[in-house]
Amino acid sequence: MEPLDQRRTDSDQEEGFGVQSRRATDLGMVPNLRRSNSSLCKSRRLLCSFSSEKQENLSSWIPENIKKKECVYFVESSKLSDAGKVVCECGYTHEQHIEVAIKPHTFQGKEWDPKKHVHEMPTDAFGDIVFTGLSQKVGKYVRLSQDTSSIVIYQLMTQHWGLDVPSLLISVTGGAKNFNMKLRLKSIFRRGLVKVAQTTGAWIITGGSHTGVMKQVGEAVRDFSLSSSCKEGDVITIGIATWGTIHNREALIHPMGGFPAEYMLDEEGQGNLTCLDSNHSHFILVDDGTHGQYGVEIPLRTKLEKFISEQTKERGGVAIKIPIVCVVLEGGPGTLHTIYNAITNGTPCVIVEGSGRVADVIAQVAALPVSEITISLIQQKLSVFFQEMFETFTENQIVEWTKKIQDIVRRRQLLTVFREGKDGQQDVDVAILQALLKASRSQDHFGHENWDHQLKLAVAWNRVDIARSEIFTDEWQWKPSDLHPMMTAALISNKPEFVRLFLENGVRLKEFVTWDTLLCLYENLEPSCLFHSKLQKVLAEEHERLAYASETPRLQMHHVAQVLRELLGDSTQLLYPRPRYTDRPRLSLPMPHIKLNVQGVSLRSLYKRSTGHVTFTIDPVRDLLIWAIIQNHRELAGIIWAQSQDCTAAALACSKILKELSKEEEDTDSSEEMLALADEFEHRAIGVFTECYRKDEERAQKLLVRVSEAWGKTTCLQLALEAKDMKFVSHGGIQAFLTKVWWGQLCVDNGLWRIILCMLAFPLLFTGFISFREKRLQALCRLARVRAFFNAPVVIFYLNILSYFAFLCLFAYVLMVDFQPSPSWCEYLIYLWLFSLVCEETRQLFYDPDGCGLMKMASLYFSDFWNKLDVGAILLFIAGLTCRLIPATLYPGRIILSLDFIMFCLRLMHIFTISKTLGPKIIIVKRMMKDVFFFLFLLAVWVVSFGVAKQAILIHNESRVDWIFRGVIYHSYLTIFGQIPTYIDGVNFSMDQCSPNGTDPYKPKCPESDWTGQAPAFPEWLTVTLLCLYLLFANILLLNLLIAMFNYTFQEVQEHTDQIWKFQRHDLIEEYHGRPPAPPPLILLSHLQLLIKRIVLKIPAKRHKQLKNKLEKNEEAALLSWELYLKENYLQNQQYQHKQRPEQKIQDISEKVDTMVDLLDMDRVKRSGSTEQRLASLEEQVTQMGRSLHWIVTTLKDSGFGSGAGALTLAQRAFDEPDAELSIRKKGEEGGDGYHVSARHLLYPDARIMRFPVPNEKVPWEAEFLIYDPPFYTAEKKDATLTDPVGDTAEPLSKINYNVVDGLMDRCSFHGTYVVQYGFPLNPMGRTGLRGRGSLSWFGPNHTLQPVVTRWKRNQGGGICRKSVRKMLEVLVVKLPQSEHWALPGGSREPGKMLPRKLKQVLQQEYWVTFETLLRQGTEVYKGYVDDPRNTDNAWIETVAVSIHFQDQNDVELKRLEENLQTHDPKESARGLEMSTEWQVVDRRIPLYVNHKKILQKVASLFGAHF
């Protein structure tokens, strides 16, 4: 990029970007930074934002680690400041220097040198920045030295500023002065840039000033924050600017930090300086100690971007290196240099066509072949797009532009041109992401690794649209197993759209879910997840039990099962039983952090190793569904549920889990979301069951009571009851089933009066008076019909009602009529009756058909209010009976039994809950009882306050407690109902009705009276006033409040009363379904039978099949398949109903209208573009026709036909060209690029030498190139005897004999005799832009040898592997120390020697002779020039490639070769200090040097192998 001060004056100010080619020296020094993740950063930002603790940390950390630069020596400059003041060479005035810089010191008299006279000091400008008068948005800023390490800056941003590690780095570059863009293009650019940043979590890096492209980016962020509902700060925009060029920077100076610093944006008074852009979120202000010097920030920005792009982003199980992309708008010469650097270093660039200048020049020629990008074409484009400054371009600059643009266009895979409305492009965000994927495809990865890398990027960006359009295409066929690692990543990071995409592309959950996958998922739960904390609690409890264990036990699936059982209820069995260590199919994983790294161990290797695992789980879809539900992932759970088979049970189980979690969730919003999702799954269960019930009632009812092995051997009905899913239980189909159970084997249409008659006169059963559901019962013997009748729950219920009424009547008779000192036979009968009730309650308590255990059954038993009432009534009866049997306490015993009678009567309410009329009313009464308790609390306040005041005013020192209670509570309470005390107003005052001294126990104490004792002395007006106020509030306000509460409760409950009644109806039906048929006290016979069966015969209890039925496997599979089919119908109906909703229709219409508007706009742009293309095509055709006519006429004239016609003169003027130029153009057109490319790269490798730019057309020596003035460079070698002289003088070179074998050195070229000019040989392939021999050893040809050692790739069975029918080769390659590429084991040779030096390093010395023999027997596949970046005008590389192929895997020489490969020290190899060897598959994606890859392609062609 050109000097920035010059850019200001040339109206070409630009904001730059660059990537250094050299590896950052501080890479690898950030082990702590690699562990940073988004959740940690987010929690840190939430906890510490704007806190004093954070400010103190920054105030101490920043000055210690970040420095600024100050000039310490004032040297007067010849230039004056804008204000006419004397300034130093650094640009600052006397006043702006520190005190020591103005005083004489050791530097006195010396010239100003920034390396000596600018010192680093602790920075004094950092903190929060607020732009005065613009917005309240708070940004971050820091002033730092240009020499600050990238690791320190990155640590500041991620750890102290709290920024999440980005998934993408977008560097925006271009014109730094304001420029005009079309409104539509500007809108598209702004929308797309912010969209890609917001959706991918990217950082946008700009120059940070309020001008040019930086202003465009800032306004884009501003528009987003104004229009979006998202919180501010979602888009991270980092401005890297030069401190010395910022206007009003004094406001930012705060030695202890500005929290905040107020900055004023003053464009009018900025002069040659610039203001910061108010829409950026963070500013890095680079200081070199000077004032007014632009471009200081570029080297630091380059290093920082390079450093960030080499960091690893870990999120959701995916670990990728942070990709970087350069976005270019407009720009001048500096921007071209920026693009060139980016492309050279492999950074993809997106050029926005239509933005102007450099961007448009590149966009215009990007589609042309490199051979057509000529100096004249670039000159023409510059004259169009740089009209104002075109005259200032020199010939050298135009040549340099041509060369750079050729190199840029040559690497098309890194160049993306965004054209508005063309090539199907509509959004900049898509273009940016497509550019990154296109660049990824160009990288050297093998087959699926390349596509896998692209998929990692798409998942990291969370852009499923890009994955659909760019990755899942016909170009590559994905294997489901290849998608398993990314499926895991998508699940962990909660990306439901990717999960859906992977399922659409063949991922089968039954194959995907393994033991290890589940462990991976559960160990990567979010720490904020409630289930995670419950798991940790289980692990901690186990650690306490295992006192000998030193570490917390590792998470296993049985720990998960324990927590799930708490949530699903103890009626379910453990979903994941504790495995036995002998048969557990367990794979050791590096938990808890799972990485999908581009380099190193990946989850893919996990799935490759675990393919042989036995899937331990019954239902993998269930396991994934549970995992999604416990994290409250709504969309993810919906997608997985749609894949489930046992879908009704799954939906009800999800509802249960969510409702249980919501009870413990402390966050109100999360709790509400869980309840909403639970309600959604309940509706799904209802929807599927409705479809089933409509299709087949009997099979639908089978689904209700089918034992689900997958859900802990429970049933759908049990799950619904456990979850209290009243809507589901109140469904008509379920109520019909419950009614069917209630009537047993009787027909439902039997009238109740028939049942009662048969109960009273059972011989009627032998007639046809009662009808049965099964016709066989009508024909069977009478005993079977009697058994079926009396086993029906409805009959058992009414028999128990009759029995209970008889018990109450007998109990009342004994209490009121026959309560003798000694119990009568009636009373003994009551004791027997009660004993039968106790036995029945005991049976209910111990009845455990599901094997839940006594504690659980006791818990369930006492959770029912009516059971508590039963136990209370029985215990009270026992207490009364005990008192009754003791003569001294006979009367208290009768009182207790009388109270107990009330409790037994209340038990009738439970009996009547079965009634459709009374049942709902009983529910309403229960709810109103709660209101009464709240009302009594309010009433007690008024009653006590009035009672105490009244008692204190009327009565003096009442000491009798019972009369105090009567006066304070009892009388006050009765006053509400109209029983007003007669003496309270003094009218009916009578001393005869009271006791003056309170000695009469049957009379209250007299109120305060006068000295005569006949007239009241208390203030009647006060007591009357208190009474009126009391009655006003108590009678009118509180009683009406109670009525209003009752009314509200009634209205609220009335809507759901039917559901509640239907839900509670099940409990009564289940109770009498499992109850013995005989009523008390005859039920004792049934209990005796049960006792014999359980204790004597050891027959376990079993639940009746009618409520819990275990089906045969075939029947169950058919039933589940049927349910699955109807679930699909339900989902289709839901989708159709969703589309038919008015809101959705309006949204669809709106989208269609927007699409039509976009298409119309695009059509207009396309038509104008099409016209331009047609004109250009027509112009090209006319040109070609003219050339053809000129050739025809010239040929005819040379053949003697006619003479030169005047009409042909114009054609000759138009199309005649010099022969040399014509031959050059033909050569370029025929050969494509045609010339060496790597040998003309501007930056010479391993040296800071820039070549002279040589465009394609100037490569041949025959082409005239008058301005060609390449620099001279020759590297000095350690061993001068093995190299030619430096060549800076002609005398030593005169002794060299070219084009012959000069001693041991062969200086002949494979391309024939080369030209020697002024004692220097000329490269036969043309100019390179550099004279001398560079880093090569010899002038002229430097001969190398490249042995290509290959063998067939074989499978485990020994067969040759094939790809696309062709056989596959493996090649022996080596990796040089500290190199990213592999290479063939060849290279330069010592003079007179056959084996290359590199090959000798990997072969043991005793094998050298044998390998030389193999080389002589090998096949020569190439001999000639090598396009190497080390080539110069006077020295170049030529090579001979020899193929050595081992046909047989048992070849003796192959085995000897492998045995004689050098063994290396693993520690040295790990540190990159030794050369390593490896057999790699021959493929076009093999990561070899380009030259070696071309040789390998020839070898593959030789054997007809895959490449």
What's the confidence (pLDDT) of residue 426? 62
- The lowest-confidence range among 276-280, 357-361, 995-999, 1011-1015 is 1011-1015
With b for 16 or more beta-carbon neighbours within 10 A and e for fewer, the 493-524 pattern comes to: bbbbbbbbbbbebebebeebbbbbbbbbbbbb
CA dist 584 → 579, 580, 1300 (Å): 6, 6, 75
Model confidence pLDDT, tens digit, residues 1100-1145: 766 566 788 888 889 999 999 999 999 999 999 888 887 887 887 7
Residue 996 has pLDDT above 50, yes or no: yes
What's the confidence (pLDDT) of residue 30? 39
Model confidence pLDDT, tens digit, residues 916-969: 777 777 878 888 888 888 888 888 888 888 888 888 888 888 888 888 888 888
Report, as an integer, the average pLDDT of 1304-1318: 89
Per the listing, tokens 């800056």 go with 153
The number of C-alpha atoms within 13 Å of 1266 and in the hemisphere containing its C-beta is 1
Higher pLDDT residue, 910 or 609? 910
Report, as an integer, the average pLDDT of 1311-1334: 92
The number of C-alpha atoms within 13 Å of 913 and in the hemisphere containing its C-beta is 24
What's the confidence (pLDDT) of residue 810? 93
What's the confidence (pLDDT) of residue 1027? 83
d(CA 298, CA 334): 11
For residue 572, say whether it is annotated as part of any ligand binding site.
no
Report, as an integer, the average pLDDT of 247-271: 89
- Three-class SS of 1433-1458: CCEEEEEEEEEEEECCCCCHHHHHHH
For residue 1430, say whether it is annotated as part of any ligand binding site.
yes
For residue 867, say whether it is annotated as part of any ligand binding site.
yes
What end-to-end distance do the CA atoms of the chain give, in Å?
Answer: 40
Handedness of CA 772, 774, 775, 778 (dihedral sign): negative
Residue 620 has pLDDT above 50, yes or no: yes
Residue 1219 has pLDDT above 50, yes or no: no
Q: Mark out the alpha helices in 89-211 (DSSP H runs).
A: 99-102, 114-117, 150-155, 183-200
Let me know: does 235 contact 197? Beta carbons within 8 Å: yes
d(CA 648, CA 655): 11
* Banded pLDDT at 1270 (limits 50, 70, 90): very high
For residue 533, say whether it is annotated as part of any ligand binding site.
no
CA dist 1041 → 927, 934, 935, 978 (Å): 16, 11, 8, 19
d(CA 91, CA 242): 14
Q: At 236, phi and psi to the nearest 5?
A: -90, 115
Q: Which H or E element spans position 86?
A: strand 86-88
d(CA 243, CA 207): 11
Tokens of 208: 């940070």
What's the confidence (pLDDT) of residue 599? 33
What's the confidence (pLDDT) of residue 1463? 59
* Banded pLDDT at 34 (limits 50, 70, 90): very low
Report, as an integer, the average pLDDT of 427-449: 74
* Banded pLDDT at 758 (limits 50, 70, 90): confident
Residue 682 has pLDDT above 90, yes or no: yes
Q: Mark out the alpha helices in 822-889 (DSSP H runs).
A: 825-846, 854-862, 865-885
Residue 764 has pLDDT above 60, yes or no: yes
Q: Taking CA 192 as the corner, what is the angle to CA 188 and CA 198, rounded to the nearest 5 degrees?
A: 150
Report, as an integer, the average pLDDT of 622-644: 93
Report, as an integer, the average pLDDT of 312-320: 73
For residue 335, say whether it is annotated as part of any ligand binding site.
yes
- Going along the chain from its start, the domains and CATH numbers come out as 508-543+554-577+614-734 (no CATH), 792-912 (no CATH), 929-1058 (no CATH), 1238-1503 (3.90.79.10)
Q: Which residues are registered as beta bridge partners of 326?
A: 171, 349
Q: Mark out the alpha helices in 134-281 (DSSP H runs).
A: 150-155, 183-200, 212-227
- Of 731, 726, 701, 727, nearest in space to 716 by CA: 701
Higher pLDDT residue, 1056 or 607? 1056
| Strands 258-263, 236-242: pairing kind | unpaired
Report, as an integer, the average pLDDT of 398-418: 92
Peptide bond into 592 cis (omega under 30): yes
Let me know: does 682 contact 651? Beta carbons within 8 Å: yes
Tokens of 879: 């207490």
Is residue 550 classed exposed, middle or buried when 0-12, 13-18 and 19+ CB atoms within 10 A define those classes?
A: exposed
Model confidence pLDDT, tens digit, residues 99-158: 766 555 555 556 888 888 899 999 999 999 999 877 668 899 999 999 999 999 999 999
For residue 1491, say whether it is annotated as part of any ligand binding site.
yes
Report, as an integer, the average pLDDT of 534-540: 90
Q: Which H or E element spans position 9?
A: helix 4-9
What's the confidence (pLDDT) of residue 734? 93
Residue 612 has pLDDT above 70, yes or no: no
| Residue at 245: amino acid letter | T
CA dist 621 → 425, 637, 641 (Å): 39, 10, 8
d(CA 1441, CA 1435): 20
For residue 402, say whether it is annotated as part of any ligand binding site.
no
d(CA 918, CA 920): 6
- Rounded percentage of the chain residues whose pLDDT exceeds 90: 30
Q: Average pLDDT over the chain, rounded to whole? A: 81
For residue 301, say whether it is annotated as part of any ligand binding site.
yes
Q: Which residues are CB-contacts of 426 (< 8 A; sequence separation ≥ 6)?
A: 188, 1158, 1162
Report, as an integer, the average pLDDT of 1247-1252: 88
For residue 1379, say whether it is annotated as part of any ligand binding site.
yes
Higher pLDDT residue, 1205 or 1329? 1329
Residue 842 has pLDDT above 80, yes or no: yes
3-state class (DSSP) for residue 597: strand
Tell me the angle at which helices 647-664 and 557-568 cross, rounded to the nearest 10 degrees. 80
Model confidence pLDDT, tens digit, residues 21-33: 333 333 333 333 3
CA 989 to chain centre: 84
Residue 1218 has pLDDT above 60, yes or no: no
3-state class (DSSP) for residue 1299: coil
Per the listing, tokens 């510490």 go with 48
* Banded pLDDT at 271 (limits 50, 70, 90): confident
* Banded pLDDT at 1222 (limits 50, 70, 90): very low
Tell me the angle at which helices 668-695 and 647-664 cross, rounded to the nearest 10 degrees. 160
Model confidence pLDDT, tens digit, residues 553-608: 788 888 999 999 889 887 788 888 876 544 444 333 333 333 333 333 344 444 44
Q: What is the dihedral of CA 1085, 1091, 1096, 1099, to 10 degrees?
A: 110
Report, as an integer, the average pLDDT of 507-515: 88
* Banded pLDDT at 64 (limits 50, 70, 90): very high
Phi-psi region of 938 (alpha: psi -120 to 50; beta: other; left: phi over 0): alpha
| Strands 1382-1383, 1301-1302: pairing kind | unpaired
Residue 18 has pLDDT above 50, yes or no: no
- Three-class SS of 1218-1271: CHHHHHHHHHHHHHCCCCCCHHHCCECCCCCCECCCCCHHHCCCCCCCCCCCCC
What's the confidence (pLDDT) of residue 1283? 83
For residue 844, say whether it is annotated as part of any ligand binding site.
yes
What's the confidence (pLDDT) of residue 617? 57
What's the confidence (pLDDT) of residue 1015? 66
Q: Which residues are registered as beta bridge partners of 145?
A: 287
Q: Which residues are registered as beta bridge partners of 70?
A: 119
Report, as an integer, the average pLDDT of 1211-1226: 38
